[in-house]
Amino acid sequence: AQSVTQLDSHVSVSEGTPVLLRCNYSSSYSPSLFWYVQHPNKGLQLLLKYTSAATLVKGINGFEAEFKKSETSFHLTKPSAHMSDAAEYFCVVSDRQEYGNKLVFGAGTILRVKS
């Protein structure tokens, strides 16, 4: 079975400081992993994806994530937080070999950015 655990329900950082949102996954085969962002009262936007190519993935708005198979992790980072980064972030796993295109969402992490 595939599943995702986001280790923090809320993260608070100061503007200009690094962001770390933690995600661990469980998958039987070779998963695809995604990070989506949801701003208040807005739809979901894809930040970045890992699909078995480079383990360090760069996304939009300065975000990046590293796939670590040995740790079954896919943490999201950004060197310097901006006020506009305040949103809810979802880590998502897809095990296409076993489950086709079904996405499994983590519970979400709400990122707060303080000025």
Partner 1 sequence: SAVISQKPSRDICQRGTSLTIQCQVDSQVTMMFWYRQQPGQSLTLIATANQGSEATYESGFVIDKFPISRPNLTFSTLTVSNMSPEDSSIYLCSVARAEWLGEQYFGPGTRLTVT
Q: Which of 40, 56, 70, 101 binds partner 1 (CB under 8 A)?
A: 101
DSSP string, 13-52: EETTS-EEE-EEEE-SS--EEEEEEE-TTS-EEEEEEESS
Q: State the DSSP code for 54.
A: -
Binders in 56-85 for partner 1, by CB under 8 A: none
Gap between the Cα atoms of 92 and 3, Å rounded: 8
Q: Does residue 29 contact residue 95 with C-beta atoms inside 8 Å?
A: yes
Q: Which of 37, 75, 106, 113 binds partner 1 (CB under 8 A)?
A: 106
Binding to partner 1 by CB under 8 A, coded x per residue (else -) over 15-54, reads: -----------------x-x-x-----xxxxx--x-x---
Identity of the residue, 15 or 51, whose beta carbon is nearer to partner 1 in the bound complex:
51
Beta-bridge partner residues of 10: 110
Identity of the residue, 15 or 38, whose beta carbon is nearer to partner 1 in the bound complex:
38
The residues binding partner 1 (CB under 8 A) are 32, 34, 36, 42-46, 49, 51, 90, 94, 96, 101-103, 105-108
